[in-house]
């Protein structure tokens, strides 16, 4: 057994990709009984990207991963693990992580698919970090990718206005002293499982001629109850991650939250006394992209010059399960 790796571990490279096709609030006004005013005031979302017919998740996830590897300064031959977080993989089998390994020319390595819905990227980051820390691997590729449009009921105004498609990826590895991942928190309350579901297609409820057209083949959500959970969960997760990191939460310079609802994010801003420039909000352009939401927000922050070497940031997510998690890191 290799010894525990005790250097700081952080993100070496980041890459994202979204589909070209835009679904705007005006488009949705023609599809369901909703309005741009309702969607913007209740959620902060103005448009989202969705896969075109004939496109597959691979078309977006592979470029995101390729960009992350390039950004890290490594080559595919340096990658020694693939962790693919999604609840909407290309296929149920074979796994998407093995597909990524092959498509990107990564040598034989451990390949893991994780399904933690909107908490996917944070849970995946913790998995990847643990594997490096344990001395199992050096440079894991972590992909967060979801294609909500493929499981969204575009006759259900409660869900169809919220979700979009996208992919983001990072490569982890050793970073200089003073940088990298400082602390984590994660958890779940499986009792809240019925609040967000996709019931048809698993081995417990395989597709049949009877259910193939039922509403249960789409994602269903009790938005109001998830909202209450989320407001509490993100504050709690960030506070606990800061304790694990051994820093006061006031040292967090940038909050990179899951992009589900702007009002949920604003409740955290209020709680922690954060200014507008300290919080990343890009859901106006992408909606809720589930496991891709955090890497897309990291990319937005970096592009805007708000995420620089040495910036202490908190990432936090919550979602189906119910799950929640936060990580404090110094970029
Ligand atoms: O990624 C993690 C998973 N998801 C989430 O984080 C979502 C968390 N929840 C939310 O973001 C919010 O609960 C929603 C955006 C889903 C809903 O906002 P809300 O302020 O909680 O609205 P509501 O469900 O309490 O509904 C208020 C009203 C209802 O009408 P009545 O009963 O008051 O007449 C809804 O039928 O708004 C109606 N409504 C809409 N109206 C126009 C619901 N969806 C729409 C819509 N357009 N798209």
Distance 128 CA to ligand 1 centre (A): 35
Nearest to 120 by CA among 290, 280, 297: 290
Band the pLDDT of 264: cuts 50, 70, 90: very high
What is the rounded average pLDDT of the residues 147-173? 97
- What are the b/e assignments for 59-70, b being 16+ CB within 10 Å? bbbbbbbbbbbe
State whether the beta carbon of 161 lies less than 6 angstroms from ligand 1.
yes
**Where residue 246 sits, what CATH number does that domain have?**
3.40.47.10
State whether the beta carbon of 288 lies less than 6 angstroms from ligand 1.
yes
Q: Report how far residue 146's alpha carbon sits from residue 293's, in angstroms, rounded to the nearest whole number.
A: 9
| Closest approach atom of ligand 1 to CA 261 | 11
140 lies in the same domain as 153: yes
Band the pLDDT of 5: cuts 50, 70, 90: confident
155 lies in the same domain as 15: yes
Residue 3 domain flag: no
Tell whether the model's pLDDT for residue 236 goes beyond 90: yes
Q: What percent of the chain has pLDDT over 90?
A: 98
Distance 157 CA to ligand 1 centre (A): 8
205 lies in the same domain as 166: no
Largest CA distance in the chain: 60
Tell whether the model's pLDDT for residue 9 goes beyond 90: yes
What is the rounded average pLDDT of the residues 27-38? 97
Give the strands of the sheet with 110-114, arranged side by side: 9-17, 165-174, 140-147, 81-85, 110-114
263 lies in the same domain as 116: no
Tell the burial category of 83 from Cβ atoms under 10 Å away from its Cβ (0-12, 13-18, 19+).
buried
What is the rounded average pLDDT of the residues 50-73? 97
Nearest to 10 by CA among 81, 85, 72: 72
The pLDDT tens digits for 202-220 are: 999 999 999 999 999 999 9
CA distances to 12, 80, 111, 123, 131 from 107, in Å: 19, 7, 11, 24, 17
The upper half-sphere exposure of residue 65, i.e. CA atoms within 13 Å in the direction of its Cβ, equals 30
Please state the separation of Cα 140 from the chain's center in Å.
17
Tell whether the model's pLDDT for residue 253 goes beyond 90: yes
The pLDDT tens digits for 265-281 are: 999 999 999 999 999 99
CA distances to 27, 92, 163, 237, 254 from 285, in Å: 14, 29, 11, 26, 20
Distance 36 CA to ligand 1 centre (A): 13
State whether the beta carbon of 158 lies less than 6 angstroms from ligand 1.
yes
State whether the beta carbon of 317 lies less than 6 angstroms from ligand 1.
no
Band the pLDDT of 4: cuts 50, 70, 90: confident
**What is the token pair recorded at 274?**
């954060």
The pLDDT tens digits for 17-29 are: 999 999 999 999 9
Residue 213 domain flag: yes
State whether the beta carbon of 118 lies less than 6 angstroms from ligand 1.
yes
- The DSSP call for residue 28 is H
Nearest to 282 by CA among 13, 85, 12, 43: 43
Mean pLDDT of the chain: 96
Distance 188 CA to ligand 1 centre (A): 23
Residue 288 domain flag: yes
State whether the beta carbon of 157 lies less than 6 angstroms from ligand 1.
yes
| Closest approach atom of ligand 1 to CA 226 | 8
Tell the burial category of 273 from Cβ atoms under 10 Å away from its Cβ (0-12, 13-18, 19+).
exposed
289 lies in the same domain as 160: no
Residue 268 three-state SS = helix
Task: Tell which of 177, 201, 221 closes a domain.
Answer: 177
**Any residues with CB less than 8 A from the CB of 30 and at least 6 apart, and which?**
none
The per-type count for the chain, helices as H runs and strands as E runs, is 10, 13
What is the rounded average pLDDT of the residues 288-302? 98
152 lies in the same domain as 170: yes
Q: Residue 154: what pLDDT?
A: 97
| Closest approach atom of ligand 1 to CA 160 | 48
pTM: predicted TM-score of the whole model, two decimal places? 0.97
Tell whether the model's pLDDT for residue 45 goes beyond 70: yes
210 — phi, psi (to 5°)?
-75, -40
139, 184, 185, 258: the active-site residue: 258
- The DSSP call for residue 321 is T
Task: Tell which of 146, 177, 208 closes a domain.
Answer: 177
Nearest-CA residue for ligand 1 atom 7 is: 223
State whether the beta carbon of 223 lies less than 6 angstroms from ligand 1.
yes
Q: Residue 3: what pLDDT?
A: 67
State whether the beta carbon of 266 lies less than 6 angstroms from ligand 1.
no
Band the pLDDT of 310: cuts 50, 70, 90: very high
Told to judge if 118 belongs to the known catalytic residues of this protein, a careful annotator would answer yes
237 lies in the same domain as 147: no
Tell whether the model's pLDDT for residue 1 goes beyond 80: no
Range of the domain at 113: 9-177
Residue 1 domain flag: no
173 lies in the same domain as 191: no
Q: Are 204 and 92 in contact (CB under 8 A)?
A: no
Residue 320 domain flag: yes
User: Are β-strands 81-85 and 110-114 bridged in parallel, bridged antiparallel, or unpaired?
Assistant: parallel
Distance 23 CA to ligand 1 centre (A): 19
Distance 229 CA to ligand 1 centre (A): 14
State whether the beta carbon of 28 lies less than 6 angstroms from ligand 1.
no
The pLDDT tens digits for 96-109 are: 999 999 999 999 99
221 lies in the same domain as 170: no
Residue 4 domain flag: no
63 lies in the same domain as 148: yes
134 lies in the same domain as 207: no
Task: Tell which of 141, 160, 177 closes a domain.
Answer: 177
Q: Residue 269: what pLDDT?
A: 95
Beta bridge partners of 163: 288
25, 235, 288, 313: the active-site residue: 288
Question: How many structural domains does the chain have?
Answer: 2
| Closest approach atom of ligand 1 to CA 158 | 44
164 lies in the same domain as 216: no
Nearest to 244 by CA among 329, 129, 146: 329
């Amino acid at each position: 057994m290799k010894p525990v790796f005790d250097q700081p571990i952080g993100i070496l490279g980041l890459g994202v990709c979204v589909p070209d096709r835009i679904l705007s609030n005006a488009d949705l006004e023609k599809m369901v009984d909703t309005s741009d005013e309702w969607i913007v005031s209740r959620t902060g979302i103005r448009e989202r990207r969705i896969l075109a017919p004939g496109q597959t998740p691979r078309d977006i996830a592979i470029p995101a991963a390729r960009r992350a590897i390039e950004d890290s300064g490594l080559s595919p031959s340096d990658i020694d693990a693939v962790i693919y977080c999604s609840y909407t993989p290309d296929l149920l089998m074979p796994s998407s992580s093995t597909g990524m390994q092959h498509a990107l020319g990564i040598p034989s390595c451990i390949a893991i698919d994780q399904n933690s819905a909107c908490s996917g990227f944070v849970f995946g980051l913790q998995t990847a970090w643990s594997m490096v820390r344990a001395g199992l691997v050096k440079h894991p590729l972590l992909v967060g990718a979801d294609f909500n449009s493929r499981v969204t009921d575009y006759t259900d105004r409660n869900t169809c206005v919220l979700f979009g498609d996208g992919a983001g990826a990072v490569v982890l590895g050793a970073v200089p002293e003073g940088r990298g991942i400082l602390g984590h928190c994660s958890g779940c309350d499986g009792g809240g499982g019925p609040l967000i579901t996709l019931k048809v297609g698993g081995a417990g409820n395989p597709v049949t001629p009877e259910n193939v057209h039922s509403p249960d083949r789409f994602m269903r959500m009790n938005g109001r109850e998830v909202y209450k959970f989320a407001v509490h969960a993100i504050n709690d997760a960030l506070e606990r991650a800061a304790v694990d990191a051994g820093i006061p939460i006031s040292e967090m310079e940038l909050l990179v939250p899951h992009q589900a609802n702007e009002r949920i994010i604003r409740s955290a801003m209020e709680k922690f006394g954060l200014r507008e420039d300290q919080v990343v909000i890009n859901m106006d352009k992408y909606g809720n992209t589930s496991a891709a939401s955090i890497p897309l927000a990291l990319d937005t922050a970096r592009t805007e010059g708000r995420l620089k070497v040495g910036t202490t940031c908190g990432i936090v997510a919550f979602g189906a399960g119910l799950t929640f998690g936060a990580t404090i890191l110094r970029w």
